């Protein structure tokens, strides 16, 4: 499976529909987003085929650990496999947890679905590695709608991302260094012999959006490669971008 196909699969699984999402109220996860587990299985079936034929899973391990104050924690290790042609992938491992016994109003209370909940949690950890609900984990959902990734990337470039309980977006490999940021902006504003921008506004935004899936160094290389294809050498110090051109807000 080539990189392009891999990213197409990842991106196609990354955004659950609104009716599969529910905001959590109360507890330590207050304000986070809960994803309907059944949507995950449906998304996998639509992409890879029937479970057991196009994709499959194994519950590799179930165990308990003592928790604080007499609670008992349940853990599960799950392995998911997807089929590529006639070959099965290596195991995609996920570990999840829940509680078998929890303390409520000073008294221990048993949870007969503790292991089932741990397995479901392990599934979510495993499946998000291939893109399932990735935009939720990346903070792209604000509770009512998905955020615009281009604007979020621009905020990161400009250092305007404000830490919060639910961070909006963290680019691959972390934020750019000042040198990387300047290099990206300079390359995106590269001009031809007539003094006109080489890249259109749409291309400019597409490179910004690609920062979600590529490190800053990879984005720089991708832009440089594209300039090379168009017959430009992209010298180390291209002219400073004029203020009226495409700029980061």
* Per-residue pLDDT tens over the stretch 112-148: 999 999 999 999 999 999 999 888 888 777 777 777 6
CA atoms of 17 and 242, how far apart (whole Å): 41
Q: Which of 143, 134, 132 is nearest to 166 (CA)?
A: 143
- pLDDT for residue 247: 44
The average pLDDT across 155-178 equals 60
- Greater confidence (29 vs 224) lies with 224
Count of C-beta atoms within a 10 Å radius of residue 89: 14
Q: Please tell me whether the overall predicted TM-score, pTM, comes out greater than 0.75 for this model.
A: no
From-to residues of CATH 3.30.390.80 in the chain: 3-137
Residue 159 has pLDDT above 70, yes or no: no
Return the residue matching tokens 């090379």: 228
Measure the CA–CA gap between 220 and 223, rounded to whole angstroms: 5
- Which tens digit of pLDDT belongs to each residue from 175-216? 788 888 888 888 888 888 887 888 888 888 888 888 888 888
Q: What's residue 158's pLDDT?
A: 56
Element (H, E) at 8: helix 3-13
Of the two residues 187 and 82, the one the predictor is more confident about is 82
Give the per-residue pLDDT at 205.
82
pLDDT at 167 over 50: no
Q: Which of 31-45, 73-87, 171-185 has the largest mean confidence?
A: 73-87
d(CA 114, CA 242): 60
Q: Which CATH number fits domain 3-137: 3.40.50.2000, 3.30.390.80, 3.90.1580.10, 1.20.58.1000?
A: 3.30.390.80
């Amino acid at each position: 499976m080539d990189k392009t196909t891999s990213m197409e699969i990842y991106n196609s699984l990354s955004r659950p529909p609104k009716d599969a999402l529910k905001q959590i109220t109360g507890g330590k996860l207050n304000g986070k987003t809960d994803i309907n587990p059944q949507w995950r299985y449906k998304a996998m079936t639509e992409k890879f085929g029937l479970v057991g034929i196009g994709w499959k899973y194994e519950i590799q391990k179930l165990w308990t650990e003592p928790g604080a104050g007499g609670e008992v924690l349940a853990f599960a290790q799950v392995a998911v496999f997807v089929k590529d042609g006639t070959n099965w992938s290596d195991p995609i491992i996920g570990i999840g947890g829940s509680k078998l016994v929890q303390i409520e109003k000073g008294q221990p209370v048993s949870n007969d679905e503790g292991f089932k909940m741990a397995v479901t949690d392990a599934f979510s950890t495993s499946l998000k590695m291939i893109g399932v609900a990735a935009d939720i984990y990346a903070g792209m959902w604000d509770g009512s709608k998905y955020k615009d990734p281009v604007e979020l990337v621009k905020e990161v470039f400009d250092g305007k991302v404000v830490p919060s309980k639910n961070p909006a977006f963290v680019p691959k490999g972390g934020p750019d260094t000042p040198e990387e940021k300047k290099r990206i902006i300079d390359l995106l504003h590269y001009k031809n012999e007539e003094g006109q921008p080489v890249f259109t506004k749409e291309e400019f935004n597409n490179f910004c959006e690609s920062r979600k899936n590529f490190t800053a160094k990879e984005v720089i290389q991708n832009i440089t490669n594209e300039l090379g294809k168009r017959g430009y050498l992209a010298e180390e110090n291209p002219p400073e971008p004029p203020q009226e051109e495409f700029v980061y807000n």
